[in-house]
Structure 1
Amino acid sequence: MDVDAEDRRRRFEALAPAMVDPLRRFLLRRTDPDTADEVLADTLLVCWRKVEQLPDEPLPWAYAVARHCLHNAQRGERRRRRLAAKVAGLAQPGDVPGPEPDGDPAVEAALAALRPADAELVRLWAWEQLTPAEIATVLDITPNAASIRLYRARQKLAERLRKNDAGAGHEGSREGRRP
C-alpha cells in the first residue's frame, strides 16, 4: 500500500465513525430500515471514493450525498414498481403507495401540505439539527438562500399547524354556549 492510499484510509477511518449514526438517523426519517441501510452503504462508498474532497466538517456534505443516493434508490424503486404493475396488469404506476409516515400526525399532515422543497428544509433543520449554512451545503445553495427559504418554510409550517389546530379544536366545542 503506498503512502497516499494509507493516508486516505486513515482519514476515512477517522471521519466515518462520527458520520454513521447521524446519517442512519437522517435516512431512517425518510425511508424504511432496509433502504436506509443500503443507502447508507452507498453514501459511505461515495465518501470513501471522494475522501480527499471531504471538508473538515464532513456531515453536511455527507447528508447531501445521502440525499442524492436516496433519490437514486427511490427512482429505482419507482421503476421496479411501475414495471411490476405493468407486468401484472393490476395497477397504474401512480397507484403503488410509498412508505407510511410514522411521526406526529399533525406535523406529518402539515409537512405533507408544504412544497417538497420546503418540507425538506424544515426536516433538515428540525430533525438533523443543521444550521442554515449546513443546510446550504446539503442543498447546494447559498447560506443566505438557505436562511431565507428556511424562515419562509417555517412560517408556512406554523401557518399550516395553526390552521389544522384551529379547525380540529373548535369544530365541536360547545363550551360557554347554552344548549
Structure 2
Amino acid sequence: MYAEQLKESIGGVIGSFVLKNGEITETDLGRNLGFVTQSILYLSEAVTETKDLKRLSIFGVNRSLSVYFYSKYILGVLITPTANLQLLNLMVRRILEAPERAEEPEEPSSAFENQIPYFDIPRDEVLPNVPEYARQVLEFVDGNRTIRDIIEQSSLSPEVVLDVIMSYRRSSVLHYKS
C-alpha cells in the first residue's frame, strides 16, 4: 500500500519496505532484506543510546537508500539519484504519521461512514489528475453513495479509502451532503 503510493507520487522511487517493531510488514523490493534490516536495527539501537535518530541516508552512484525512523516504525526507500528528496520527505512524514491518526478517529465512525461525499467540480476534471490509488476510490464518489458503500466497492483497504477521502476533503475537492 505505502510502496505503491510512493512509486505513483514520486519519480525515482525503486521500492520500499516498512518495519514495525523490527518486523517487515510491507515490501515491494522482492529481495531477502534480512541483512539490511538487521543492520539498520543494529545501527538504530547503537545511535539512539546517545541521540535521537530520525533519518539515515546512504548514497550510491546508481541508487540511494533513505531510512526514516518514527516511533515504532522504520520506512526504507530505495531511490535513484533523480528522485525529489523534498517531496519524498513530505510523503514519508505523512505515511509515518498516518497510523497514529488512524488510532484517534476525527468523527464517530458510524456517523462518518453514513456521510455522502460529492465533488464541487465535475468528476471528469478531477479523476484524470489524481494518482491511480486515489482514482480507485474517487471513481465511486457520485453524490449518492455513502462512505460505507465506497469502502465496500473499492478494492483498497478501508484505511486507504478513508485516507483518500479525508485528503481530498481537506483539499476542498470533496464535500459532504448535509
Does TM, scored on the shorter chain, surpass 0.5? no
- Bin the TM-score by the shorter chain: under 0.3
Structure (1 or 2) with the larger CA radius of gyration: 1
TM-score between both structures, scaled by the size of structure 1: 0.23
User: By percentage of residues, which structure has more helix?
Assistant: 1
